[in-house]
Amino acid sequence: MTAPSILSVEVTPSLGSEVRRIRAYLRKEWLLQLSYGFPLLSATFGVFTTLATYFFIDRLFGRQLTPELAPFAAPYFAYAVVGNAFLAYVGTAIGGLSRRVGVEQSLGTLEVLLATPTRLWVLILAIAVWNTIYASAEVVLFFLVGGVGFGVDWGRINWSALGPVLGLVVVVFNSLGLAEAGCLILFKRGVVGAWALNGMCALLGGVFFPVAVLPDWVQWVAELNPITHAVRSLQLAIFQGVPLRGLGKELAALTLFAVLLVPLSLGTWRWAFRRARLDGSLSLH
């Protein structure tokens, strides 16, 4: 009977040690944010100026409830608050993951980190968790400024429907971000592509205005965009208080996107990581 290998115990860390690594990564990111100085003040100012722009656009057109906004029972400004808050999730998930990987890669810490017993999925999960926390804080800021500063009424939110929608949003758009980060590792370019992708998806996804204002053929294309279903379900759950069963079509679409994108993004990341290790490009000098 052979004795258990000490090496195998060290190579396969326990779940508790993996959780501690994730916590350590989150603590590192939190300390980095604090070191920049006045992050909350600058973020609040940015949210306020963004919402002020839409507030005065809404006033310019007389705060009319147009036929396109009628299904959501919300004036344009309130609709824009939710759209821009949701865009924080999209931007952080798609562009934030690649930016974080790019920073680690340029500093040479990505290769060092992955040379430790830290497994690849732990690093991915830690970055995704931090991005979700950061984006959630920005969303809360949008809602606070919109409600306190501009008087938007949040009293009809259906929280039981909002939770599952946000869960699917996190999975779908972090999957897109992971695939984009894999392309960054392979081609050393990605942030510009993420910016263009964010802008195009937001334009066609009902972030700034309802999809119903677009030409018919563009609306058909928009239905292939996960942002369209995410924004529509969020607007209905927030302003109409639609229950979960009333969002069946949108949830089914988001679930389908999740089923397709999760394995695709993981495969892209693993392939990119394997290629980068073979050609020695995990670090940029």
Question: For the segment 115-173, what is each residue's pLDDT rounded down to a tens digit?
Answer: 666 676 777 788 788 888 888 888 888 999 999 889 888 989 999 898 899 889 888 88
pLDDT of 238 above 90: yes
Q: How confident is the model at residue 5 (pLDDT cuts 50, 70, 90)?
A: very low
> What's the whole-model pTM score?
0.79
pLDDT of 11 above 70: no
pLDDT of 252 above 90: yes
Q: Average pLDDT of the chain?
A: 79
Residue 201's nearest CA partner among 83, 74, 100 is 83
Question: For the segment 178-211, what is each residue's pLDDT rounded down to a tens digit?
Answer: 887 777 777 665 555 556 666 777 788 888 888 8
